[in-house]
Amino acid sequence: MGRIDKFPVVFLDRDGTIIVDKIFLNNPDEVEFLDGVIDGLKKLYDKGYKLVVVTNQSGIARGLVQLENLYEIHRKISEILKQNAVEIYRYYFCPHMPDSGCECRKPNTGAVKEIIEQVDKEKSFVVGDKDTDIGFGKNLGVKTIFLSSIKEDINKLQWKPDFVAKNFSEVVDIILK
């Protein structure tokens, strides 16, 4: 059996990390990137990082987000990034409710099980704005960057992030250091 080549990954939360969190976003026309994200993703992509979006989307189970629209939202994100010479390697999402006990909902790692063997964990990061994102990174065994916002008080986090960033430019600086 051949050796599996491992690659560095930046696992990205979606809402509140790369795009504005519109709470159960269901309209692709409302996709709005956060400041510095497109430039930052370009820098990471150009340095050889695979960019993987991992997002909990309980709006699907709640009937607030249609699956077709979720796929359209991801297509729209990819289209905008492609115009900036950036490619998202994969999108993974959990459509289940927070209390469903499923393996694919962050902080669990089931959503990314198909690629986990290929990930160079030493060089990989999880970036997110919620405690579950940090837990996801800890469970994966990669470094974590908490994108601090007013929403989550860092002192109330269940999981302690390896790094804290105020904005996406700081995230990129931390990763490329």
Cα–Cα distance, 160 to 164 (Å, whole number): 10
Whether the upstream peptide bond of residue 107 has omega within 30° of 0, thus cis, is yes
Number of other residues whose CB lies within 10 A of the CB of residue 84: 12
Taking a C-beta distance cutoff of 8 angstroms, is the pair 106, 125 a contact? no
Residues involved in catalysis = 13, 15
Contacts of 70 (CB under 8 A, 6+ apart): 57, 60, 93
CA nearest to 42, candidates 169, 162, 145, 143: 169
DSSP 7: B
Q: What is the crossing angle of helices 67-82 and 37-46, to 10°?
A: 70
Taking a C-beta distance cutoff of 8 angstroms, is the pair 11, 50 a contact? no
